[in-house]
């Protein structure tokens, strides 16, 4: 269980922001000894459960509803990690690589990163096939280099 301070640090926000999320009902937790504590499930719920086929903002569902474009595609990758530290390292390196290599291009491509229960990460990509193959290969190779599960 995380404290308000620990959760704020993990999310890179202030403790005031966490308390505002609690007041607004966006975040739930449990009071223990007068202090808020948050479980992995609380955090998962805060970021949005992934009944993927029911979410309006789901990248995969939105892609499947569209008329396909020539040489465009969808890729979904799932990885499991042993620790929160490994998740953070993988996330930071993957986002940095995306921003360095793909963010500035004029070609439409999307990257969605999702934290799931039990230390799973789901990455959903849409865009040109060359982007899907290149970035998927980099992500998978990076995962293996980190010697993760």
Domains annotated for the chain, with CATH where assigned, are 2-47 (1.10.10), 52-145 (3.30.310.50)
Q: What angle do CA 77, 80, 82 make, to 5 degrees?
A: 155
Q: Is the pLDDT of residue 62 over 90?
A: no
36-41 contacts, C-beta under 8 A, 24 or more apart: 36/3, 36/4, 37/1, 37/2, 37/3, 38/1, 38/2, 38/3, 38/4, 38/7, 39/1, 40/117, 41/117
Q: Does the pLDDT value for residue 37 go beyond 90?
A: yes
- What pLDDT digit, counting tens, does each position of 81-140 carry? 888 888 888 988 888 888 888 777 777 788 888 888 788 888 888 889 988 999 999 999
- As a whole number of angstroms, the distance between CA 125 and CA 138 comes to 13
């Amino acid at each position: 269980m995380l404290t308000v301070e620990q959760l704020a640090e993990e999310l890179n926000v202030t403790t005031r922001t966490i308390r505002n999320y609690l007041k607004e009902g966006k975040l739930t937790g449990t009071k223990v000894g007068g202090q808020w504590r948050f479980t992995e499930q609380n955090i998962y719920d805060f970021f949005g459960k992934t009944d993927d086929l029911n979410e309006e903002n789901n990248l995969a569902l939105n892609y499947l509803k569209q008329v396909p474009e020539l040489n465009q595609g969808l890729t979904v990758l799932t990885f499991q990690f042993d620790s929160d530290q490994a998740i953070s390292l993988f996330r930071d390196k993957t986002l940095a690589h995306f921003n360095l290599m793909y963010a500035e291009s004029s070609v439409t491509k999307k990257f969605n990163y999702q934290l799931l229960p039990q230390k799973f990460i789901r990455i959903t990509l849409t865009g040109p096939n060359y982007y899907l193959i290149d970035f998927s290969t980099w992500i998978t190779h990076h995962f293996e280099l980190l010697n993760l599960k």
